[in-house]
A and B are shown apart, each in its own frame.
Chain A
Amino acid sequence: SQQGEEDPQALSIQEGENATMNCSYKTSINNLQWYRQNSGRGLVHLILIRSNEREKHSGRLRVTLDTSKKSSSLLITASRAADTASYFCATVPISSGSARQLTFGSGTQLTVLP
């Protein structure tokens, strides 16, 4: 199964509402990152949270990390139609050594309705 699993798989909200997405993973990690992917496009890096951090903010984004539960959440406040995209969490397992390859979940499809 996936190292990272996002929940829910799909989320539909009204513009102005907050959107919360969750990610669970299985192994010990160096860090956890969130990416956004618009339909048919590449990935855009949103935020990185280190394993020794519990919360991080960037603009309208708030990320939490609970290493004891092996889970993270991404909160987008005051959502906009332009936030409509797929959101992926990605982890760098400690066991990856020097390779640092990212392990992605299957994503949450967020739709923000105007």
Chain B
Amino acid sequence: NAGVMQNPRHLVRRRGQEARLRCSPMKGHSHVYWYRQLPEEGLKFMVYLQKENIIDESGMPKERFSAEFPKEGPSILRIQQVVRGDSAAYFCASSRTTGSQETQYFGPGTRLLVL
């Protein structure tokens, strides 16, 4: 059973370009979470999605950031017109349910560098 998969693992973009980060949850998991980690800091929640629905996007910047989890295919975190401050590691996690004791399993992350 493959774990959570993310790609690309590393992404370099110039200011103003778009970044697309992909996440395939573990088999049987229909709940996806995106987190961002700045250097030397812990992870910060961004958005929680179920298939075709955004459940909670309270941690996501209002502009330039969007996320989706279509019926078929991976979840996508999209950052438009990237700025240097977007440079960070972006982690995706998935869970089977949202029971209060459910474990979230994390992918290896995508490290975004904005030049």
Contact = CB atoms under 8 A, between A and B. Distances in A.
B46 to A, nearest CB: 9
A81 interface: no
Interface residues of B, number: 28
Interface in A42-75: 42-45, 48, 50
B31 to A, nearest CB: 8
A105 B42 contact: yes
A43 B106 contact: yes
- Of the candidates B44, B106, B108, the one having the most CB atoms from chain A within 10 angstroms of its own CB is B106
A102 B104 contact: yes
Given A88-B43, A102-B93, A104-B42, 4 more contacts: A43-B43, A92-B100, A104-B43, A105-B42
A35 B101 CA distance: 15
A1 interface: no
Interface residues of A, number: 27
B41 to A, nearest CB: 6
A31 B102 CA distance: 10
Contact of A45 (B44, B45, B104): B104
Given A30-B101, A100-B95, A102-B45, A41 B108 contact: yes
Given A88-B42, A104-B42, A104-B43, A99 B55 contact: yes
Nearest to B45: A101
B91 interface: yes
21 contacts: A42-B91, A42-B109, A43-B91, A43-B93, A44-B106, A48-B101, A50-B101, A88-B42, A98-B98, A99-B98, A100-B31, A100-B48, A100-B100, A100-B104, A101-B33, A101-B56, A102-B43, A102-B45, A104-B35, A104-B42, A104-B44
B65 interface: no
